[in-house]
Amino acid sequence: MIVADMGEPTSPISTMRLYGSLIAFISGSYSVYLSTAGSGMSGSAWFMLALGVVVVIHGVVLLTPVATRLGTASGPLMIGYAVLMLLNQGLMLTRDPMGSGMDSGMGSGMNGGMASGVATVDGGMVAIAVLMLASGVIMTVRRGMMPAASTSSTTTETD
């Protein structure tokens, strides 16, 4: 009987990296969705599209061995992404309320488009950005729990 030696995994993915990856993937995906769901692409929508793609890529990288090259930069990067998302949402309040936001034209249903006169801040995007901000702070404060590279095949996590 021949048994293939699959070996042990070289470094398991920490729980913190899994959570960080999930948060980055969800917030980046929502950012991409939100920026492309409107009828027109404003500057803000293009910004959120680009940022969303970068955040999704970061989330995927956290699941790969390439994450060791990020080292302890992952937490501060997540904080930066979240701040940019929140600033963009804050800028939505200061824009021309007659539809220069990301989802201009979305309120053209039964009320004849009057809903587009309301500020177009997305509460879901704000909530996800705050979650990402908290995740980035946790990842930054607890750097010792996200080793850049594991030297042994078994690691101990304290959650």
- Contact of 44 with 105, CB cutoff 8 Å: no
Token duo for residue 45:
């929508």
Nearest Cα to 138, choosing from 7, 15, 6, 10?
15
Mean pLDDT computed over 15-43: 87
Token duo for residue 3:
């048994």
At 92-138, the pLDDT tens digits run: 888 755 544 444 444 433 333 334 444 578 889 999 999 999 999 99
Q: Residue 116: what pLDDT?
A: 46
Report whether pLDDT(61) > 80: yes
Model's pTM, two decimal places? 0.68
Q: Residue 118: what pLDDT?
A: 47
Q: Which of 1-10, 87-96, 109-118 has the highest mean pLDDT?
A: 87-96
Spatial distance between the Cα atoms of 124 and 11, rounded to a whole number of angstroms: 35
Q: Residue 95: what pLDDT?
A: 73
How many residues would you count in the chain? 159
> Which DSSP letter does residue 14 get?
P
